[in-house]
Structure 1
Amino acid sequence: MCPTGRVRLSKLLRGLNAQSTQVTLKRLDLAFKHFFRRVKNGETPGFPRFKPLHRFKGWGYKTHGDGWRLITNERMKHGTLRLSGVGKIAIRGKPRTTGTPKTCEVLCRNGRWYASVTLNCAPSRQRGDALGGLDWGLETFATMATPAGTETIDNPRHLAGSLNEIRRVQRHISRKEEAARKASDKQRRFPVSNRLQREYERLRRLHRKVANQRHDFQHQTTARLVGQFAVLGLEALNIRNMTASGGQYKKGLNRSILDAAGGAFHQLLGYKAEEAGTWAMEAPTRHLKPSQTCHACGRQEKKPLGQRRHECPCGASCSRDENAARVLMNWAKQQLSGRERGRCVEGGKTESFPDDSARPVKRETHAIA
């Protein structure tokens, strides 16, 4: 690098917050550590990709008071966020549990900027006292079985309500992109007109609406379930494998699976159960086979996906989802039968709550912690 270039770089770095540059370097270090781990294990390496400005999602601060400060009241309702080099930004809302600000990450998503603040707090939630099993699905979003009976949660199918509009906007984008390629004689990095930019924004707005609807529904549903159940048996899900094949023939089903977001649902349910001190346990699907096992006698029989009723020679007859939920409930009861604390009693109640938290499903951690 020539001396002039070093001087310019030195002036550029002088105006940046030191903690933010350290966080960025840590992300780069983690990316290469994962790369070498995949190489060592013989997996597809996936060399870390260079991120230009339009792909860079944001930056972070790892210590409160160094480059950023959260200014608010005791209840932490509303207030101001001060960022170094940016200034003061008004914020709205409040955290469910107040605490001490620890880290902050500034993110750009779909053309909008957000600040994610991590607090050091002791969260607590209202918890229930019932025993149950939950089967996640598409026909109904969730089927819960308890010793007293079953109940269901309808699948809201958020994407289906906006799918026609999304397709219409995507067709407009495709036509405008093709015209821009022909006019500029470039297949990549062709000039983007203002009309095309507006179509991109329309598409982002539609997807953001669907994502917000799904996020709100899952948060409310998982909070209600944690407030109802003390012990809940779940089926371990592998969404990637469920949507990995099928091609054109199965693309509608794959889209519905991804729209229902079973992985995110289990993740939210897991950490909320952990905060409440209840149990949300995932059953080993390949061994238990909830959809193919009779809840009454334990007999296993392979059923095609289109068979929505469970009929067993022992006389058990119910819907496929209800049967799976009852199998998961029985499994959860067996898991706790040998424990002194939280053992199940008649009526689907628990005598006491376990001291150790529920085993969380994959829990999201802060990117710069």
Structure 2
Amino acid sequence: MARFEIPQGWTAQAYRFALDPTPAQVRALASHAGAARFAHNHMLALVKAVMDQRAAERSYGLTEAELTPVLGWSLPALRKVWNQRKDWCAPWWGENSKEAYNTGLDGLARGLDAWSSSRCGRRAGRPVGFPRFKTARAPRSVRFSTGVIRIEGDRRHVSLPRLGAVRTHESTRKLARRIEAGTARILSATVRCDSAGRWYCALQTLVEAKARPAHAPRSQYPVVGVDVGVKADSLLVVATAGGVEVARIPAPKSLSAAQSRLRALQRRAARQHGPYDLATKTKQMPSKRWRATAARIGRTHAHAAAVRRDVLHKATTALAQQHEVVVVETLNAAGMRAAGGAHKRGLNRALADAALAEIRTMLSYKSRWYGCHLVEADRYFPSSKTCTACGRRKPNLTLADRVFDCDHCGMHIDRDLGAAINLARLGVPTHIGEQSPAGSGPVPGRGATQETEPAPAGDAVGEEASTPHHYQVDQTGTASPQGEAA
């Protein structure tokens, strides 16, 4: 079946609203999420049983034609088998929308496809494991793609299949105005419950003529580099190729600020009657006080995530609206926290609290919205270890060194500012039209060698992170041919 393609001139965007459901609607939402989990677990057990049965039959010497028939892993195949079994395995299936069961089956189909592709080498990245059974504590969500999905006229309710009109905390006027004008169309709705127990509805829409707002100011620096970090005073350091520091955004450190409260709540939960008895190593019914404490822990984590998300959204929106070219690093955020043991626990927590990978993700779609070019530097580009004056590399620079002192020319500069300057110089060719536009991955011909290779000597290393010789950069970060600069 052909994949859905976004029409020319339109773009995909999601509108997320916090819900204020009635107690009956909360029970209905929980029932839909539980139905999705049940369908996922039931069909996963059947898939594993068929695989084990076929493996046992092969060990008996049976031919392929004599084996148990293969169970298809695609969504239509899983849905067909589910429809044949739901009357006896889930006689209550009629209480929920069919979209609830389709949500669980779709997640299982995607997980099986990811595992198969990773196992056969068709999927890049880290190896993907076989799908697991979802527990009752797993995130609860359900996706509606058919039926009545609309914004009500009072702009305070969202209508969903089998649930009716659910009240929202904030007004839905931003999306309602676009729908009334014919410049937006709702495709699907995903309802999800966060760790604090709050239900949210994300409406996936197609929006026409998404562009930079007229009231958004334009910066005098068209090309900037963005260096990310975990220090409290420099989550984002924005600078131009000419060495001007445009902005320095501090890290919210919301998780660190909540550590004392989390520590007290988790100790309280450990003293209470929880769902697991360590003495007998058996499951038990948790007490009401443990449930209340667990809910408070969830609300604390949700508040920390909301503060972090708010800071990142405001910073990335300003970058995409004010500048023409933004250069960012391609960091392996998951690999940075993969090893280290107990002595690296504090750094891993700081990396998770900064959410470094979210910054590039937000910039990737906001740059398309507002007409900004996003340039992604090569993963091994030594932005922090390259001198901004002579271009020499300093391979023995550690994380504890916050100031870059060049051993060759004596340059003394803040480490994060120097990295942002080197990144901005990668975007100068994009601004003058010599390189491919953003969104196409790393800049061709401008990436650095891996740090495991010996650093080249002489002026060659300077050209990797600087403007080509036939261009000069002024203080605004704009490159122009020699002899034409102001």
Whether TM-score is above 0.5 comes out as yes
Of 205, 208, 223, the residue aligned with 1:131 is 223
Q: Distance in 2 between matches of 1:169 and 1:310?
A: 42
Describe the superposition over 1:294-313 as per-residue Cα deviations: whole angstroms up to 9, x where unpaired: 11221111112111111222
> What is the CA-CA distance between 1:314 and the residue it aligns to?
2.1
> What is the CA-CA distance between 1:231 and the residue it aligns to?
0.8
TM-score by length of 1: 0.82
What does 1:20-169 align with in structure 2 at a 5 Å threshold? 20-41=100-121, 44=127, 46-55=129-138, 57-63=140-146, 66=147, 68-73=148-153, 78-91=155-168, 92-94=170-172, 98=178, 99-110=184-195, 111-122=197-208, 123-126=210-213, 128=218, 130-139=222-231, 140-146=234-240, 147=242, 149-150=244-245, 151-169=247-265
Asked whether the equivalents of residues 383 and 423 of structure 2 are also in contact (C-alpha less than 8 Å), the reply is yes
Provide structure 1 residue ranges, at least 5 long, that are not aligned to the other structure: 352-369
Asked whether the equivalents of residues 131 and 350 of structure 1 are also in contact (C-alpha less than 8 Å), the reply is no
Q: Distance in 2 between matches of 1:341 and 1:244?
A: 33
Describe the superposition over 1:255-314 as per-residue Cα deviations: whole angstroms up to 9, x where unpaired: 11110111011111221111111112111131x200111112211111121111112222
Of 341, 348, 351, the residue aligned with 2:477 is 348
The percentage of aligned residue pairs carrying the same residue is: 25
> What is the CA-CA distance between 1:180 and the residue it aligns to?
6.3
2:76 is matched with: none
Amino acid at match of 1:232: V
TM-score by length of 2: 0.63
2:409 is matched with: 314
Q: Distance in 1 between matches of 2:199 and 2:161?
A: 16
Q: Distance in 2 between matches of 1:96 and 1:273?
A: 20
2:386 is matched with: 293
Q: Distance in 1 between matches of 2:108 and 2:382?
A: 41
Asked whether the equivalents of residues 100 and 121 of structure 1 are also in contact (C-alpha less than 8 Å), the reply is yes
SS at match of 1:135: strand
> What is the CA-CA distance between 1:179 and the residue it aligns to?
9.9
Q: Distance in 2 between matches of 1:121 and 1:298?
A: 45
Q: Distance in 1 between matches of 2:384 and 2:173?
A: 39
Q: Distance in 2 between matches of 1:79 and 1:144?
A: 39
> What is the CA-CA distance between 1:101 and the residue it aligns to?
1.3
Asked whether the equivalents of residues 87 and 93 of structure 2 are also in contact (C-alpha less than 8 Å), the reply is no
> What is the CA-CA distance between 1:337 and the residue it aligns to?
4.2
Provide structure 2 residue ranges, at least 5 long, that are not aligned to the other structure: 1-84, 179-183, 438-470, 481-486
Amino acid at match of 1:135: D
Q: Distance in 1 between matches of 2:304 and 2:401?
A: 30
Q: Name the CA shift for 1:53/1:221 in 2 (closer, same or farther; >3 Å).
A: same
> What is the CA-CA distance between 1:171 and the residue it aligns to?
1.2
Q: Name the CA shift for 1:12/1:158 in 2 (closer, same or farther; >3 Å).
A: same
Higher relative contact order (CA 8 A, sep 6+): 1
Describe the superposition over 1:96-137 as per-residue Cα deviations: whole angstroms up to 9, x where unpaired: 563211101121222222211111113223474521111101
1:355 is matched with: none
Matched, 1:267 2:331: no
SS at match of 1:55: coil
Q: Which has the larger radius of gyration?
A: 2
> What is the CA-CA distance between 1:160 and the residue it aligns to?
1.6
> What is the CA-CA distance between 1:45 and the residue it aligns to?
5.2
Matched, 1:333 2:424: no
Q: Distance in 1 between matches of 2:191 and 2:303?
A: 21
Q: Distance in 1 between matches of 2:157 and 2:472?
A: 48
Q: Distance in 2 between matches of 1:299 and 1:278?
A: 31
Asked whether the equivalents of residues 333 and 344 of structure 1 are also in contact (C-alpha less than 8 Å), the reply is no
Q: Name the CA shift for 1:56/1:167 in 2 (closer, same or farther; >3 Å).
A: closer
Q: Distance in 1 between matches of 2:206 and 2:337?
A: 37
Q: Distance in 2 between matches of 1:50 and 1:252?
A: 31
Amino acid at match of 2:193: C
What does 1:223-302 align with in structure 2 at a 5 Å threshold? 223-286=317-380, 288-302=381-395
> What is the CA-CA distance between 1:238 and the residue it aligns to?
0.8
Asked whether the equivalents of residues 104 and 117 of structure 1 are also in contact (C-alpha less than 8 Å), the reply is yes
Amino acid at match of 1:155: A
Q: Distance in 2 between matches of 1:20 and 1:198?
A: 28
SS at match of 2:376: strand
Range with bigger deviation, 140-149 or 319-328: 140-149
Aligned length: 338
Q: Name the CA shift for 1:133/1:344 in 2 (closer, same or farther; >3 Å).
A: farther
Q: Distance in 2 between matches of 1:327 and 1:29?
A: 44
SS at match of 2:324: strand
Following TM superposition, the consecutive aligned residue runs of length 4 or more in structure 1 with deviations greater than 6 angstroms are 340-345
Q: Name the CA shift for 1:90/1:179 in 2 (closer, same or farther; >3 Å).
A: closer
Amino acid at match of 2:382: K
Alpha-carbon RMSD across the aligned residues, in angstroms, is 2.9
Q: Distance in 2 between matches of 1:156 and 1:54?
A: 28
Amino acid at match of 1:118: Q
Asked whether the equivalents of residues 23 and 62 of structure 1 are also in contact (C-alpha less than 8 Å), the reply is no
